[in-house]
Structure 1
Amino acid sequence: MAPPTSTPAVVDVDVLIVGAGPVGLNLAYQLQRFSSPPLSSQNKPISVHIIEKHPKPMQEAFGRAVTFWPRSMEILSQMGLGDQITQQCVAVRTSAAYDTTGTEVFGRGWSFLEGIEDTRFKFASVLRQKFVEDIFRAELKKYGVQVSEMKSFVSLEIDESIAPGEKGRVKATILDTSGGEGQEKEYVVRCRYLIGCDGSRTVVRGAAGIESDGDRTEDKWVRIDGVLKSTTMPKPRSYGAIESPIYGNVLWIPLDHGATRLGFAMNEERRKAYKELNQEIFIEEAKLSVKPFEIEYERVDWASVYSVGQRVARTFWAKESVFLAGDAAHSHSSGAGQGMNAGMHDAVNLGWKLALVLTGVLKREVLETYSLERQPNSKKLIKYDEDISVLVSGRLPKDYTGDKTEDPNVVLGKILQEAKGFNTGLTIGFEPNLAVLRDDSGVEDLSAVAAKRSIVPAPAIPGFRAPDIQVLTPALWEPVWLQSLMANVARFYILVFVGKSAHAKELFMGLKADLQKNQRISPSKAPITEAKSNGVHLNGDSSLAQEWPVDFVTILPEKVGNAWFELGTDPLGRVYYDGDGSANKRYGVDSDSGAAFVLRPDGWIGARFELEAKTVIDDIDFYLSRLLC
């Protein structure tokens, strides 16, 4: 919990989080959510101390990230936050690109926006970071947790005589400047784990001895947010790209609360034209950048110029006790709009793993999969961003192998379109590891297969997201999205597709019989007390705290009047119908024989088993036993 106003000399907690941006706040929220009743039978929730160097008003003045892409919205929605974001965001479904004459040129810029598929979030959710932080802070307040502002991380000490994960292994020195100049004082936080979410200028990364790779370019980018009094831009509510001969590819984003963001590269020649760069200069440059269109500002909320750089940490955890997340782990330009999204992926990947380790449900070895899964994807993002940032500045990348006379704006549009799956987050996948049971040994050309898997829709195989498809509710036959039925409450879901044939029904009966013999995942042992999260009724019972956190969902291949009549027995967990066969098809299931999927709490598929194997329960037990205590 947050310490009192007068911070004691020593604070003892389970987790110290350095940095209270969206990533740090998200992690604090998950640790509280997954360890507090009714989702946990623990007597005490995980204790968290979250610090931030700057007071909230100063943080808000930084501007920063604005866009959530579809996969980010899926995972946030499964955490119960989707409605709060969609209530405030601008849902941008269209794009517009204009050449130097102001003529609209189709298929360039952000055109992939209009071709988003395989998700119910077929748009960019634009909500400025400060409002996202407000949502997380409000949720944390419900758990009695507040951000300790004006506290800076100073140094780190790991007590190797204390076993990893035990109390007091990590000692961090914190500088408290809340008393004002001359009243600074230091205090110590003793904790089990420390998470560095302290941005691209991270101090935690260096203190943990984690090296990083990359560099910083000489490019300078301007970002300016404000409310426009007037504009001649034809489509001001679209995600826009204006191809300026001076500023490269100018970014235009409609923001929440009636505002608009403009972003453009300011080369050295333009910068030399001014003795100093200030808000007035940014406004004048913004007006020039959108030519031949006109803009007039009613007010400016924020304006800044910053250097573009790409760096990625060599590992996202060190000494079995210190994690990095967000910009502290990987910094890049905002050219592809990935900053807040990559950070959300970090937080959601780490959140359930750390929470379940701290509550004694998950084995500590699973923590290693956080870096194994997120670091390669961050390296991929950095490589992608290196090209994007150069193209946005109006130049071709140095290692570009295509036609050297090609228009950089055209190349930019092509790259954004080709990387649609990665940009939207819908094809982000993980290699086999402790939490991903997939056999790639029979694949001859893994690089070719990986390229194929990066195309939307990605296959429904272990290591990739569980597709969100519509199924029908019993009796009413009303359509409902599958992901909305499986909230992220730090539980695993076993999704059973029952086949159509009589043989498939026999396989299901055999599966149920085997399940009754299993003491760890048997439905007869499933918790019975009702809890509610994200509008879905879930199960939880403190008397069964040692049972594995598993829920079942059964999908029947057709809509029927009653599941019992169809199966000759009760379904496993809640039951829904695949009315038109699209669910079976999207999951690659033979609708005659059926299959079972183990979905991780974060919504990625952990394992898949064919019901024909007749050893499904043993196979599921094997997968879960690698992870769960």
Structure 2
Amino acid sequence: MDAEGITEYDVVIVGGGPVGLLMAYQLRRFGVSVCVLEQHEKESQDAYGRAIALFPRTTEQLDQLDLIEPMLQLGFACRTSVTYKDGERVIPGRVWTFMENIKDTTYDFTLVLRQMYTEEIFREKLESVGASYYQAMQCIDFEVDETASSGQYAVTSTFEDKRSGEKKQLRSKYIVGADGGRSFVRRHAGIPFDGDTSEDKWIRIDGIVETDMPLNRSYGAIESKTHGNVLWAPLDHGATRIGFAYSPEMAAKYPDGVTQEVAEQEAVLGMHPFSVKFKEVHWWTLYTIGQRMARTFTTKNTRVLLCGDAAHTHSSGAAQGLNTGIHDAVNLGWKLALHIRGLALPAVLDTYSPERRTAVQQLIDYDKDISILMSHKWPSWYAGDRDADPYLLLGEIFEKAASFNTGLGISYPLNNLNRSPSSLTTQLAITPGSRPPDVDLYMPGTNQKIRFQRVTRNCGKFWVVVWVGNLASTRQSLATLRSFLDGPGHDLLGHGAIDWLTISPTPGCSPFEALGGMRPFGNMYFDLASYAHEKFGVEDQKGAIAILRPDGLLATAGPLAGAWVNNYFASVLTRIEPMTEWSSSDSGVSV
């Protein structure tokens, strides 16, 4: 609290939904003070409903932040899908079949958990790290001093207690808008929200149902000409969601509007010829389909930042909404924390908006087509036979976008973080900005399996992974690397934003002996049978160094040498001086 009695935080987050809570949890976990303010009282807000599906890359990210276990205890792990047309099963299925072909991840399923439970878990985790959280507090104003220096509290925000009417002022270095599609933060900051809203409307209804549909605990698509591509989603706690298009013809039947009774009745009709009976209804909604994206996710000298629905909205057709918001939060969390702590250069934070806008634009382009096709209509660009079945094209689009839907194939372009490194890059199996495979490693001594992603969990630091090749071939390079790192003028081993890890294909009774009497770089794990080396594309005769971003994506890679690692970090982190000259024998590249 400052001399004026105004409470100060590094970051104020407007919006206490899952994205805002996740942002706050990360920031506090990474050493930043943060306050979350939510305008609703969660006990009285819609109890269930909203987002339900978390895809593999999302669950991987939550796992790396130590959040996933309580979610697995409550959620429904869905590994199968089904498509029905006129009561007959379509084989092979369409739309959701990508769920049955998820590879190269421990999370080879869709985790279905209603947003109420996700938020409850995130709030408990937020409390465990000591972050401030308030409900029924609505943001009514904020001002940004754009002349303030980087470390100053440039944002003064005003909140109103919706119960008492009292006003509260906060001062922060940054303000994050995670306050939904009607975001006050976005509007008050003057950020345009580009896109459009269609005339199409959908209904979603959750509850406990009885049905004679054979495969009723698989993710289902029921192809209807009157109700669109009907969603059948098995939920947590034995519940089910049914979703369908609310067509103009359907709306004409209900001049007085939609009620819960109407939603139930049309859900039953949409599931024809299967019988459906609602034993309980937990939640329902009618909403309009549209795709919009903020022109930028940051503004006012990057003091105002947007995440989740505040930055982009789209249909729920591909079930990507919450997944995309979580990816926003994970991308931004470590960048903002390192910047606030004075460990990262401004260029790191500057990558947030272009990286996420690139991924969101892909989703919006894709979502426009699937939302139209799911309503049993053709996109305007379609020049084929309009008497054909739109669901055939819908299935093709979903199949082509499988890696995007699971999130495992989402990658970011080259930029200040994601670098094309030395000539070694072309020999690796992964490219900068993309997700590495989650291979099994082995603990020294016990030989217990441990996943690569658990070893390189997101603690808000970069990981420098030293891949030892054949020891006889790489011994000299490892010795030179050690000499470089232990020498004067380098802060790569003790820097607060860098962790080290060694992976050796040669097991031993101790890491020291496995390296022939050399100390490993950070903790060491064994790669029995060199499977992990092969998956990463590391040459046995050369070894390699891979630098991972805190969010687990490959930043860059290169030879077993220290100079290029130093110069990479000198361009993204503070307290590291670039080397203008070094020998090609040390760097592995000519200069």
The answer, yes or no, to whether TM exceeds 0.5 is yes
- 1:51: how far off? 1.2
For residues 506-565 of structure 1, what are the alpha-carbon distances to aligned partners after superposition, in whole Å with 9 as ceiling and x for unaligned? Answer: 222222121211654454xx5xxxxxxxxxxxxxxxxxxxx3332221111244444433
Is it true that 1:89 corresponds to 2:75 in the alignment?
yes
Give the match for residue 417 of structure 1: 399
Q: Please state if 1:79 is matched with 2:65.
A: yes
The question of 1:137 aligning with 2:123 is answered: yes
Aligned to 1:106: 92
Task: Describe the superposition over 1:273-308 as per-residue Cα deviations: whole angstroms up to 9, x where unpaired.
Answer: 012211111011111111111111110000010001
Question: Contact 1:9/1:187 (CA < 8 Å) preserved in 2?
Answer: no
Aligned partner of residue 57 in structure 1, secondary structure: coil
Matches within 5 A, 1:326-475: 326-438=308-420, 459-475=429-445
Give, as a single letter, the amino acid of the residue that structure 1 aligns with 2:379.
P
Query: Residue 553 in 1 paired to residue 501 in 2?
Result: yes
2:480 is matched with 510
CA-to-partner distance for each residue in 1:351-405, whole Å, 9 max, x for gaps?
1111122222222332111112111111111111111111111112111255544
The one of 592, 596, 601 aligned to 2:541: 592
Does structure 1 retain, via aligned residues, the 8 Å contact 2:48–2:115? no
Q: Aligned-pair distance for 1:103?
A: 3.0
| Cα-to-partner distance string for 1:327-358 (whole Å, 9 max, x where unaligned) | 01010001001011001100011111111222
Matches within 5 A, 1:307-322: 307-320=288-301, 321-322=303-304
Separation in structure 2 between the aligned mates of residue 408 and residue 338 of structure 1, nearest angstrom: 21
| 2:78–2:219 Cα contact (<8 Å) kept | yes
Contact 1:98-1:243 within 8 A present in 2 as well: yes
1:151-550 aligned within 5 A:
151-167=137-153, 169-179=154-164, 184-228=165-209, 230-274=210-254, 275-320=256-301, 321-438=303-420, 459-500=429-470, 502-517=472-487, 519-521=489-491, 523=493, 526=494, 547-550=495-498
Specify the alignment match of 1:536 in structure 2: none
Q: Deviations over 1:382-440 (max 9, x none)?
A: 11111111111111211125554442112111111111111111111111222212269
| In 2, Cα distance between equivalents of 1:269 and 1:316 | 39
Query: 2:552 maps to what in 1?
Result: 603
Q: Distance in 2 between matches of 1:332 and 1:9?
A: 41
1:13 aligns to what? 9
Separation in 2 of the partners of 1:146 and 1:212?
30
Contact 1:96 1:239 in 2 (8 A): yes
- In the TM superposition, residue 567 of structure 1 has moved relative to its aligned partner by 2.3
Name the structure 2 match of 1:622.
567
Q: CA separation in 2, counterparts of 1:201 and 1:471?
A: 46
**1:115 matches 2:116:** no
How far does residue 589 in structure 1 lie from its aligned partner after superposition? 1.3
Q: Distance in 2 between matches of 1:24 and 1:47?
A: 14
SS in 2 for 1:198: coil
CA–CA distance in 2 between the matches of 1:119 and 1:521? 34
**Percent sequence identity over matched residues?**
41
Query: C-alpha root-mean-square deviation of aligned residues, in Å?
Result: 2.3
Q: For 2:537, what is the secondary structure of its paired residue? A: coil
- Is 1:137–1:146's contact at 8 Å kept on the other side of the alignment? no
Spell out, residue by residue over 1:63-92, the C-alpha distance to the aligned partner (whole angstroms, 9 max, x if none).
110111000011100000121111111000
TM-score by length of structure 2 reads: 0.92
Whichever residue aligns with residue 401 of structure 2, its letter is A
Once the 2 structures are TM-superposed, how far is the Cα of residue 175 of structure 1 from its aligned partner?
Answer: 2.5
Retained in 1: the 8 A contact 2:14–2:177? yes
TM-score by length of 1: 0.86
- Residues 1:581 and 2:530 are matched in the alignment: yes
SS in 1 for 2:290: strand
Whether contact under 8 Å (2:420, 2:432) holds in the other structure is yes
Q: Is the 8 A contact 2:202 2:244 kept in 1?
A: yes
Residue 397 of structure 1 aligns to a residue whose secondary structure is coil
CA distance in 1, matches of 2:450, 2:26: 25
Give secondary structure in 2 for the equivalent of 1:53: coil
Residues 19-59 of structure 1: CA deviation (Å, up to 9, x unaligned): 11000000111111111xxxxxxxxxx33221111100233
Unaligned runs of 5+ in 2: 575-591
For the residue of structure 1 that corresponds to 2:351, the secondary structure is helix
